[in-house]
Amino acid sequence: MHERVDLVVPVKELRRAKSRLAPAVAGLPGSDTDREQAHRALALAMTRDTLRAARAAVRTGRLVVVTGEPGMRLDGVGETVADTGAGLNAAVRRGADHLRRTGGARRGVAVLQADLPALRPDELDDALARAETLFATGTGAAFVADHTGTGTTLLVTAPGRVLRPRFGPGSAAAHAHAGAVALDGEWPGLRGDVDTVDDLARARTLGTGPETRAWPGAPPDPAALGRRMATPCGPR
């Protein structure tokens, strides 16, 4: 029987989130306010797709979202903890503290970034399984580097170990330097964090969750177009 892992997912306040994705909305029609709204909607869609996939992983235990976004709807995927505005690593520690105070100390804790719209539940399960195997031989922490190799999309700590988050630029090297072991695995969705327009195109090629796919500013999805063209036209 495999162990479940409690997840902490940091989610930035939407109006400040994903600033590097501004070019994705720059060409959209409408007013500046419309474009700001589309930008927030994109950040929210990617977050909700990530959370849905994370919740569907069988190894996910409790799921705590630490966020500065007021009234974020989670539709039953997890619990929210309010961000204090002290930055990403402080938010992550706050989530881990919440788990410890409310009875989660027996399990390992993992931090999952919220900008993984092409994440698949089996990728997360596989990464958590590999971490569990390492923990059985005494390793205290493990991480998954992002597709560029410089960032971190998942940081997992063994049960009873203190989480030591080093998120930010160059976090993969920082986590390795702090003693965490890099996990090997294909996992294109798990490694596919979306910071830039190119990352978004890459995630769409992999296949995102439904909310990112339906985002109004998304260019036509070639795969969906192909499917539609292959479907005989009939009454709708």
Draw the binding track, 81-110, toward ligand GTP (x: CB under 6 A; -: no contact): --x---xx--x-------------------
Contacting ligand GTP (CB under 6 A), which of 2, 19, 58, 150? Answer: 19
Residues near ligand PEP (CB under 6 A): 88, 146, 151-152, 167-168, 171, 193, 195
Residue 189, judged by CB atoms within 10 A of its CB (0-12, 13-18, 19+), counts as: buried
CA 77 to chain centre: 13
Q: What does 171 interact with, of ligand GTP, ligand PEP, none (CB < 5 to 8 A by kind)?
A: ligand PEP
Instruction: Pick the piece of the chain touching ligand GTP (CB under 6 A) from 12-20, 173-181, 199-207, 218-226.
Output: 12-20
Does 113 interact with ligand GTP (rule: CB under 6 A)? yes
Per CB under 6 A, contacts with ligand GTP among 66-85 are 66-68, 83
Does 175 interact with ligand GTP (rule: CB under 6 A)? no
Q: How far apart are CA 152 and CA 170, in angstroms?
A: 8
Does 10 interact with ligand GTP (rule: CB under 6 A)? yes
CB 134 to ligand PEP: min, Å: 20
Does 49 interact with ligand GTP (rule: CB under 6 A)? no
Closest CA to 189 of 101, 104, 98, 127: 127
Nearer to ligand PEP (CB atom), residue 33 or residue 117 = 117
Closest CA to 122 of 181, 201, 180, 190: 190
Q: How big is the chain by its Cα radius of gyration, in Å?
A: 18
Amino acid symbol at 55: R
Strands of 108-112's sheet in order across:
79-82, 60-67, 5-11, 108-112, 152-157, 141-145, 181-182
Q: How far apart are CA 229 and CA 92, in angstroms?
A: 45
Which amino acids are annotated as binding site for phosphoenolpyruvate, given as ranges? 152, 168, 171
- Contacts with ligand GTP by CB under 6 A lie at 10-12, 17-20, 66-68, 83, 87-88, 91, 113-115, 195
